Structure 1
Amino acid sequence: MDRRLFLSAALALPAAPLLARLPSPPRTRWQVGGSEGYDAIAFLGALSGGELYRRFYAAEADAFAANLPPAVREDIPNLAAEAESSSFGLLWPMLANTLSSARVTTLDSVIALLADPMTRLRPSYAANPSGSEERWDWFAQRAARLLQVFTAMRDADFAALREATLGAGFENRIAEVSRALGDYDVVRWQEKLTGRTFDPVINIVLLAFSRPHAAKMAGQTFVQAADYNTATTVRIAAHEMLHPPFPMDGPAAKAALSVLERDALIVRIVREHDPKWGYTTLEGMLNEDVCQALDQLISEALGVARNPANRWRKADDGIHVLAAGLYGLLRQDGWTETGGDIERWIAQAAADGRLAPEVLHPVAAKVLERPVDALWPIA
């Protein structure tokens, strides 16, 4: 399981012009709230010392860490390093997803899950389609250490830190986000462009300490920073709920992977890019980049899209060449207009040779506005 299978780095950019709308009534029902428990998990990023997080929360992390027992303060970076060097992945997003199989509300709810994971979490985790036995084993072996961390965070009054960071207007912010999202029928577009059926309810959890990630939880719930603008929230929802776009152990995925594993450029990107971005397996890259290609089409249809060339040249050091190629192929096929079964489409594209470098690379080059022989790395 790729470490950032459920992640997207969200940039709060202006919305693009409205290109298309689907007929009423809307399929999508938005539910917006907050969670002290998820915020405590997210704060592990800054407490771990990772620069990816400290550029947002260094002052808060330094002040709060001074109130933690030295053993706990020292173990958080160790846990993060152990997660990133294993198949578990980035610590806080994957831990949040693991615990999301149960109900995560307060910090006390996190502590209760960690105190008795076999009883309180294991049964529901088994139903989490994004879970794996390998991830569970990693988590179970460290649950006691994590329990010590979150207990210490509670005793150091994390609740007060979160309340001060979010401010007195947080409830108003929840209501504001709820109102703004009402016009965006993400689910209808996802169903059209994938051929799948989605639950109409999308749950958004607004957090104080989640930057730079938005992360998918179990079901149709995702977490994001409370101050992201509406366009960013819509783009996150359009992306996160698509994971996985089709079964990654199914025949369509296997057919695509058998073609892509012979693509020297894509294989080199997976192998040589900075691992802090995740996507360190070809399967993980395929999963992510199919979702990115589809979410770009959905965002364009809803009028909140970023320019695709700028998006994929800038995101994650430009590694999503595959996403640009898939997007270009889908545009060639008029996928926004026709929709259809994306699993069947990827299988057909693999069979027809459209995923081979001689087809995929020129299409990606046109989308990225780059020479076909200089798609990556971005100079």
Structure 2
Amino acid sequence: MDRRIFLAATLAGLAAPAFARAQQRKPSRTRWKVRASEGFDALAFLGPLAGRALYLTYYQADVDAFAPRLPEAVRSDIAALWQEAEKAGFGLLGPSASVLFSGHDGSIAALIAAAASPETALLPAYRQSSYWSESDWRWFTGAAPRLKAVFEAMQAAGFAAFRAERAAGLDARIAELTRDLAAYDVISLQEKLTGRTFDPGIEVVLLQFCKPHGIKVQGQTFLQAADWNTAITVRNAAHEMLHPPVPMDGAAAKAALALLAKDDLIARIVREHDPQWGYTTLEGLLNEDLTQALDQLIGEALGVGRNPADRWRQSDDGIHVLAGAFYGMFRDDKWIETGGSIEAWLARAAETGRLAPARLHAVAARVLERPATSLWPVPKV
């Protein structure tokens, strides 16, 4: 389920090109909605409570203040559930569970109610979503009673008041971001660059405890930290609404996956990278990296793009070599100007040999500004 998760960067944006100014003269297709969520924050806080170093970097003080309020057995089970979720292939517990609880996130009480009756509360929407996985659902239903007990303990420990205290000023931030986002028409560019039609509504859910993740859930909704700036939010939206960029069970994706599976470098990245970043399957990496290449074009067009070499060197230990390659190919094809069906583009790339290791690595090396023989791991400076 790692296709829903990405790590946000805070690099400075590029100046808006003439293309962006032309876009801004057109009526915007994008309709932004910004809100908060107690339930999603409770799910996000499971990572820090599980004691994972990735999250304690940001939330050690919060854990020190709240964890002693929980029974020791509950604290131990949060850590166990997190480990079991990863081992079972469900993914990172908090982000992955957030997908299933979409629409039942208004409060920790709503999480408890949904966990008590997952077959009626959660299954219908989840089964109809693009994230449906029978194996993930099987694991989740087995874990639901334990998750319910965790939520009940958090509720009894006063999580709602604890979060409200930590998230003071959130209403003002929601109003500020809602105003600032109105200038950015993400949907029009996503439609142009994919050949697909998107709902014009994008919902941004601001959380207190989700760093370093941004998380896509059901619908055109994503979760992010409340203090991330407008440029990061635009980039997140440009990225998250694209998942999946092509049908991952379609002919184009299957053709690309068959070729990439024979690429020793890409296979090694999938196999050997740190699993805390997600993307532990070739399908997950293709989904993510094709999306990242497209969102890089959108970010640049809207004036919030990052330097691509810096972005992909600093993100997730440099594993997104495919993203750099796809982005370079898009630039070669002037895709930001022409647009079209991204699924047809991927099929042509597979058919014409552009995904062959030598060609793909050469394009990636040009974008990532390092030798084709040293694309990953990233050379130490």
Query: Structure 1 length as normaliser, TM-score?
Result: 0.98
Match of 2:64 in 1: 62
Runs of 4 or more off by more than 2 Å in structure 1?
12-15
Structure 1 position 264, deviation (Å)? 0.6
Which one is further off, 141-150 or 112-121?
A: 112-121
Contact 1:186 1:237 in 2 (8 A): yes
Q: Partner letter of residue 353 of structure 1?
A: G
2-side partners of 1:239 and 1:10: how far apart?
11
Deviation at 1:118, TM superposition (A): 1.1
> 1:155 is aligned with what amino acid?
A
Shift of 1:69: 1.2
Tell me the CA shift for residue 31 of structure 1.
0.1
Amino acid at match of 2:5: L
Question: Residue in 2 aligned with 1:33?
Answer: 35
2:154 aligned with 1:149, yes or no?
Answer: no
| Correspondence 1:321-340 to 2 at 5 A | 321-340=321-340
Q: Separation in 2 of the partners of 1:262 and 1:125?
A: 33
C-alpha distance in structure 2 between counterparts of 1:15 and 1:86, whole Å? 39
Per-residue CA distance 1:112-164 (angstroms, 9 max, x = gap):
10011112111222111112111100100000000000000000000111111
**In structure 1, C-alpha distance between the alignment counterparts of 2:87 and 2:315, rounded to whole Å:** 23
1:230: which partner in 2? 230
1:209-220 equivalence runs, <5 A? 209-220=209-220
Q: CA deviation at 1:104?
A: 1.6
Give the AA of the match of 1:7: I
Are residues 1:352 and 2:379 paired? no
Structure 1: 5+ residue runs without aligned partners? none
Query: 270-279 vs 140-149, which deviates more?
Result: 270-279
Is this contact kept in 2: 1:98–1:131, CA < 8 A?
no
Q: Distance in 1 between matches of 2:104 and 2:121?
A: 10
Task: Give the CA deviation at 1:305.
Answer: 0.5
Verify the 8 A CA contact 1:18 1:300 in the aligned structure 2: yes
Q: Report the Cα offset of residue 365 of structure 1.
A: 0.1
CA contact (8 A) 2:9 2:315 kept: no
- The answer on 1:246 being equivalent to 2:246 is yes
Partner of 2:374, secondary structure, is coil
- The residue correspondences of 1:11-160 to structure 2 (distance < 5 A) are 11-19=9-17, 20-21=19-20, 22=23, 23-100=25-102, 102-160=103-161
**Partner AA of 1:277 in structure 2:** W
SS of residue paired to 2:366? helix
Q: What is the aligned partner in structure 2 of residue 165 from structure 1? A: 166
Matched, 1:180 2:180: yes
- Distance in structure 2 (CA, Å) of the matches to 1:125 and 1:26: 30
Displacement of 1:174 in angstroms is 0.3
| Higher alpha-carbon deviation: 204-213 or 58-67 | 58-67
Q: Is the 8 A contact 1:13 1:231 kept in 2?
A: no
Consecutive unaligned residues of structure 2, counting only runs of 5 or more, are none
**Partner Cα separation in structure 2 for residue 155 and residue 299 of structure 1:** 43
Instruction: For 1:84 and 1:363, locate their aligned partners in 2 and report how far apart those are by CA, in whole Å.
Output: 33
CA contact (8 A) 1:76 1:149 kept: yes
SS at match of 1:66: helix
- Distance (Å, rounded) in 2 between the aligned partners of 1:14 and 1:176: 20
Matching residue's letter, 1:260: L
The answer as to whether partners of 2:104 and 2:114 remain within 8 angstroms in 1 is no
Partner of 1:273: 273
For residues 76 and 104 of structure 2, the distance between their equivalents in structure 1, rounded to whole angstroms, comes to: 28
| Superposition RMSD in Å | 0.8
**Alignment partner for residue 5 of structure 2, among 7, 11, 16?**
7
- TM-score scaled to structure 2, two decimals? 0.97
Q: Is the 8 A contact 2:39 2:104 kept in 1?
A: no
Cα deviations by residue, 1:232-273 (Å, 9 ceiling, x for unpaired): 000000001111011101100000011101111001111111
Residue-by-residue CA offset, 1:300-344 (whole Å, 9 max, x unaligned): 000101100000111000000011001000110000000000000
Give the aligned partner of residue 262 of structure 2.
262
Asked if 2 retains the 8 angstrom alpha-carbon contact of 1:255 and 1:347, the reply is: yes
